[in-house]
Amino acid sequence: MTTATRADRAAGALLGLACGDAAGVPYEYATAPYDPQRGPEMIGGGLGPYAPGEWSDDTQMALCIARVAASNTPIDSPEGLDAIARGFLDWLREGATDVGTQTRQVLGALQADDDGPGLAERMTMLAAELHARSGRTAGNGALMRTAPIALAFPDDPERTARAARLIAELTHADPLAGDSCVLWCEAIRRSVADGVQGRPEDGFGLLPAERRDAWAALADGTWRQSALAPNGFTVTALYAALHAVEQTAGDPADSFRAGIAAAVALGDDTDTIAAITGSLLGAWAGATAIPAQRTGAVHGWPGYDGAGLRELGAYIVG
């Protein structure tokens, strides 16, 4: 059990997300050669190209959710979902440095239609229509941004799970995408609320009974035999991040470094896998355990830095 406070663990979830993201940015799809002897460095570049320490779409989209979670509007209310959807459109217009294929298809269809109530409902409908046409909307773009949802209702697992699925479905209608967000959010929620090392398996009971067979490999541990790259598929992304989390031990600061290094070493969508990994490791250990060299360097849209993320995460859990 961690000795960090609940507020510090909540801050750690956001800071861990951002630090993992910025550490993975330079190596995304091999945009820079990765030297395992040196480990991931926040040197920027990548697909942005990004400045050193700058986070990418993973954290940018997560902050659209986090800012609503820090307001007086519940993120699972119609008004809260509309605010998140509107934030996604603002991000697409103002701050998007990299946009996933599925996310762009959904948001792009709504760029000129973001006024008035019902925006989230329209966005969800478009995502569902895309899924009906293609049958392939289980990318990792919902899972990458899901961490702030786990902070909104830290003592209510059922409500957290419901919110995770609703917000995933704004852009990713495949039930697997919603499942992965439910599972990862429960791992973070338990870590933040109870000071334990929560795991996605903790969320099995929050999945509809008919959905649990889809995650049998997670239940019995055979996911460890799976290929972990390419990892754009939400199930593979969750397994990849969990693999990286499992490569940690000992001192919390060393564990964070080791986990992020393991995530980036898998290759492919390195910023996203490291962001997902960092969100759970940060929730485990707390913000104070994340190396200051990283937290002092991260920054990005919409104008936050590490100190701002620390304050935001702590504020959400009150």
Residues 183 and 223: beta-carbon distance below 8 Å: no
3-state secondary structure of 111: coil
Angle between helices 101-108 and 78-94 in degrees, nearest 10: 110
Residue 157 placed within a domain: yes
- Average model confidence (pLDDT) across the chain: 95
Q: Which residues contact 216 (CB under 8 A, 6 or more apart)?
A: 222
Residue 1 placed within a domain: no
- pLDDT value at position 114? 67
Question: How far apart, in Å, are the Cα atoms of 58 and each of 25, 103, 130, 179?
Answer: 10, 12, 21, 18
Helix-strand-coil percent breakdown of the chain, rounded to 5? 65, 5, 35
- pLDDT value at position 252? 80
Angle between helices 234-245 and 252-265 in degrees, nearest 10: 140
Q: Does residue 2 have a pLDDT over 70?
A: no
Q: Whole-angstrom Cα distance, residue 31 to residue 129?
A: 33
Q: What is the pLDDT of residues 258-306, one digit of tens each?
A: 999 999 999 999 999 999 999 999 999 999 999 999 999 999 999 999 9
- pLDDT value at position 4? 84
Residue 75 placed within a domain: yes
Please give the average per-residue pLDDT across 49-74, as a whole number: 97
Take residue 199 and report the two structure tokens written for it: 């795991």
Residue 71 placed within a domain: yes
Residue 297 placed within a domain: yes
Domain that residue 312 falls in? 6-316
DSSP character string of 205-261: GGS-GGGGGGGHHHHHSGGGGS---S--BHHHHHHHHHHHHTT--SSHHHHHHHHHH
Q: What CATH number is given to the structural domain containing 84?
A: 1.10.4080.10
- pLDDT value at position 97? 86
Q: Record the pTM.
A: 0.97
Residue 299 placed within a domain: yes
- According to DSSP, the β-strands at 304-305 and 299-300 are antiparallel
Residue 209 placed within a domain: yes
Residue 307 placed within a domain: yes
Overall number of domains in the chain: 1
